[in-house]
Amino acid sequence: MARLALRDLSLAQGGRTVLEHVEGQFPDGAITALIGPNGAGKSTLVQGIMGLLKPSRGHIDCSVPRERRAWLPQQLALDLSFPMSVEELVMTGTWPSHGALKDYCGPHYLKAREVMARLGISHLAHRPLGELSGGQRQRALFGRTLMQEAELLLLDEPFANVDIETIEVLTGVLREMARQGTTILVVLHDLDQLTRLADDVLWLADGHAQWSTTQAVIDHRQRSLQSMPPLKPTHPTDAPHARTAK
């Protein structure tokens, strides 16, 4: 049985129902993409899974302990002008084991160094976050997440404002984590990244959810591209399962 499952889940934000009757399991050790138009409830679902929002109906079964769940919000939601170095940020990922008081010790610093090397940011260890580019910041934030040794990882638009090289490094890291058994959920807008990253897709639209595979979504997109005038952009809402979804 999967570590994370949704049972007849309904979620509401400020009195407005955003998602209704969502059912299903997120497979362990796989990357599931959450896609759908703006306002479809992607972030709301993430908040629900992180335990920040109580379901208005049904429930979320999650056997991962709270401190092993990690959430990486969009960069815009973070105050990255705070005077903190990359290494200090990465070290805050030890919170589950160290909390507010316990002193950082040698092995953890070594681990932080390994993590930074893996993300290619060792040379930036002592640079303040405010001086980094978008891609470097995202790598540093991934560093914190890796230190958390998460079993469940939720990411919101991890590749927004990030350079191609960083996307490749981070995709590799996420694939590796999934291989080691971490359950990963990624909110994505860009369908190109979907191909590269996700195994499964949870499509949200009009308050409902539809499970699918990456291949099916890509195939559908190909078809809709061919059948449409070349300049018209495709929207996820054009998908048939978004309309028929229950």
Partner 1 sequence: MLELLNSLFIAPFDYGFMQRALVAGLALSLAAPALGVFLMLRGMSLIGDAMAHAILPGVALGFLMAGFSLPAMSLGGILSGLLVAGLAGSVSHMSGHREDSAMASFFLISLAGGVMLVSLGGSSVDLTHVLFGSILAVDSTALVLIAAISSLIVVVLAIVFRALVVECLDPLFLRGQGMAGGLVHGIFLGLVVLNLTAGFQTLGTLMAVGLMMLPATTARFWSKRLEGLIGLGILIAMLSTSGGLLLSYHLELPSGPSIILLAGTCYVLSALLGRHNSLLDKLRRRDAPLVARDAD
Q: Which of residues 118-137 bind partner 1 (CB under 8 A)?
A: 123, 128, 130, 132-133, 135-136
**Residue 52 vs 105, nearer CB to partner 1:** 52
What binding mask, one character per residue, do residues 10-29 give for partner 1 by CB under 8 A, x or -? ----x---------------
**Interface with partner 1, residue 89, by CB under 8 A:** yes
Instruction: Report DSSP letters for 92-150, one per residue.
Output: GGGHHHHTTTSPP-HHHHHHHHHHHHHTT-GGGTTSBGGGS-HHHHHHHHHHHHHHTT-
What binding mask, one character per residue, do residues 42-61 give for partner 1 by CB under 8 A, x or -? --------xxx---------
What binding mask, one character per residue, do residues 91-120 give for partner 1 by CB under 8 A, x or -? -x--xx---xx-------------------
> How far is the CA of 175 from the CAs of 110, 145, 180, in angstroms?
23, 14, 9
What is the edge-to-edge ordering of all strands in the sheet holding 152-156? Answer: 69-72, 152-156, 183-187, 31-35, 200-205, 208-213
Contact at 8 Å (CB) between 32 and 202?
yes
Report residue 70 CA to chain centroid gap: 9
**Residue 37 vs 120, nearer CB to partner 1:** 120
**Which two three-digit tokens encode residue 160?**
């927004």
**Smallest gap from residue 163 Cβ to partner 1 (A):** 8
Binding site for partner 1 (CB under 8 A): 14, 50-52, 66-67, 69-71, 73, 77-80, 82-85, 88-89, 92, 95-96, 100-101, 123, 128, 130, 132-133, 135-136
